[in-house]
Amino acid sequence: MNDHADDSAAPAAAPAVPTRWHRRVLTLAFPIVLANLTQPILGAVDTAVAGHLDSASYLGGVALGGLFFNFVFWGFGFLRMGTTGLVAQSFGANDQAGLRMNIVRALLLAFVIGAVILTLQTPLIEFAVRAIGGSSEVQQHARAYCHARIWAAPLALGNYVVLGWLLGTQRVRVALATQVFINTANIVAVLLYVYAFGWGVAGIGAATATADALGFVFGAVLLWQMRVRGLPSLERAALFDRVALRRMVTINRDIFVRTLCLLGAFGWFAHLGAKQGDATLAANALLLNFQTFMGYGLDGFAHAAEALVGAAIGARNREAFRQAVKVTLLWSALGALVFTLIYWMAGAWIVERLTDQTVVREAAEAFLPWTALSPIVSVWGFLLDGVFIGATRTRELMTSMIVSLGVFFAASWALAGTHGNHGLWAALMIFMAARGVTLARLLPGLAREVGPSVLPGRA
C-alpha cells in the first residue's frame, strides 16, 4: 500500500507532519544504508585479501580491475537509477501495470547490454588496462581479475534492475536482504577461492561473478513471489510502446552520460595517481575505500529521496516533495558529520587493517585528512542526485555532472602538477563540491513545477 496518500489529507498546519516525515525517511533510509554498506565492506575485504598477498602489485591489480568494472557495470548504473525513478512514480500513481512493465523493459535492456559486454570483453579489458596505466605486474593482475569476473555481466546488470524496482516500491527490507545475500556469498567465495583453492587475484574476480549469479537467482525468486496477481497478460505492443520506450531511453541516456562523467573523474584521478608510482596508486586505491564506504552510506538517504520524491511526483503532491527533500537533506548532513568524525579519529587504524605493506600504509596515512574532509563536501551532491533521479529530471543531472567534470579537469591540471597527490585530492574535493552547487541552483525551479501543473512526461 502507498503510505503517501494520507499526506494530502493532513491539516496543513499539523505539527505532527515533520515528525511523521522524519520517521518515514528513517524507516526507508536505515535499511538502505545497511544494504549499501555491505558493498564497500565487500570492497574492503577484496582490498584486504589482495593487500596481504606477496606484493603491492596484487593490490594495484585489483584496484585497476575494480576501476574497469566501475566503468563497465557502474557505467550502466542507469539500470538501477532509471528503474527506481520510473517505478517510484508508478508506485505513487498506484499504477500496477506500469510497475510490471517498467521492470520487464529494464531487464530486457540489462540482458542485451550484458551480452554485448561479453562479446567485446577482450578488447574492452585490454583497452581499459592500458589506458589507466600502472606497472606491467599490476596490469597482468588486473587482466586476471577482469577476465574472471566479467562472465556474470548480464546477471550483475540484472541485479541493478531488481534493486531499482525494490527501492522504487519502497520495499527496503527486501532490498537489504538481497544485498546482504549477494555480499555474504561474495565474501565466502573470495575466502574459498583465494585461500582454499589458491586462485589469487583471479579468485577475487571469480568470487564476485559467483555472487552476482546467485544474487540474481535470489532476487528473481523474490520478485516472482511479490508479483501482483490478476493483471492482464503482458502484451508485446504495450511492452514496446514507442512513447514509453523513448522516455526510458532518454532517462537512461542522460544517466549514462552523467555516470560516465563521474567515472571519468575517478579514472583520471587513478591515472594521475598511477603516474606517481605503484605505492601512490595503491594508497589512493586504499583511501578510495573510505570514499566508497561513505558514499554508499550517505546514498541510503539519496535512495530514500529517490523513492519519496518519485512517489510525491507520481501523486502530484507538492508538499510531500518539499518534506522529502528537507528531511532527507537534514539526515544526510548529520550522517556526513558522523563519517567525518570516524575518519578523523580512526583513519590510521582502518588503514592498518587494510594492508600490511609498509610503503602503502605510509603513503595512505599522509593523505588521510582528505578522507575526513570528503563527507561534508560530498554529501550535498549525493542527496541532490537522489532528488533529481526520483523526479526523472535527468537532463539537468547530466548537465550538472558535465560542468562539474570540467571543473575537476581544470582543478587537477592546476593543482596536481604543483602539489602532487595532495593537489590531486584537492581537485577531487572541488569536483564533489561542484556537484552539489550546480544541482542546488536548479532545485527551486524543480520544486515550483511539482503538482497538478507538472508537464506530461516530466512526472
How many CA atoms lie less than 13 Å away from 87 in the CB half-sphere? 28
- H or E segment and range at residue 125: helix 121-132
Please report the pLDDT score of residue 373 as a whole number.
Answer: 94
397 in a domain, yes or no? Answer: yes
Are 278 and 142 in contact by the 8 Å Cβ rule? The answer is no
Torsion of CA 255, 403, 306, 167, to 10 degrees: 40
Is 3 inside any structural domain?
no
> What pLDDT was estimated at residue 38?
65
CA distances from 219 to 46, 65, 258, 333, 423 (A): 24, 26, 27, 32, 43
Contact partners, residue 383, CB within 8 Å, separation at least 6? 298, 301, 302, 305, 328, 329, 332
CA atoms within 13 A on the CB side of 169: 22
Report yes or no on 40 lying in a domain: yes
**Which residues of the chain fall short of a pLDDT of 70?**
1-18, 36-44, 51-56, 133-134, 230, 232, 451-459
Contact between 105 and 245 under an 8 Å Cβ cutoff? The reply is yes
> Taking the alpha carbons of 405, 407, 408, 414 in that order, is the dihedral positive or negative?
positive
Residue range 36-72, pLDDT digits in tens = 666 656 666 777 777 666 666 777 778 778 778 877 7
* Within a domain: 458: no
Cell of 38: 555491505
Q: How far apart are CA 136 and CA 126, in angstroms?
A: 13
13 part of a folded domain = no
Give domain status of residue 43, yes or no. yes
pLDDT at 290: 86
pLDDT in tens, 131-160: 776 677 778 888 888 888 899 999 999 999
The helix or strand, by DSSP H or E, that contains position 255, with its residue range, turns out to be helix 242-274
Domain that holds residue 177: 22-449
The count of structural domains within the chain is 1
What pLDDT is stored for residue 41 in this prediction?
A: 65
How high is the pLDDT of residue 15?
43
Strand ranges (E), 110-173: none
| C-alpha cell, 409 | 579537469
Q: What is residue 55's DSSP assignment? A: S
How many C-beta atoms surround the C-beta of residue 94 within 10 A? 14
Cell triple for 174: 527486501
Residue 120 within a domain: yes
Does 62 reside within a domain?
A: yes
* Cα gap 136→295, rounded to integer Å: 31
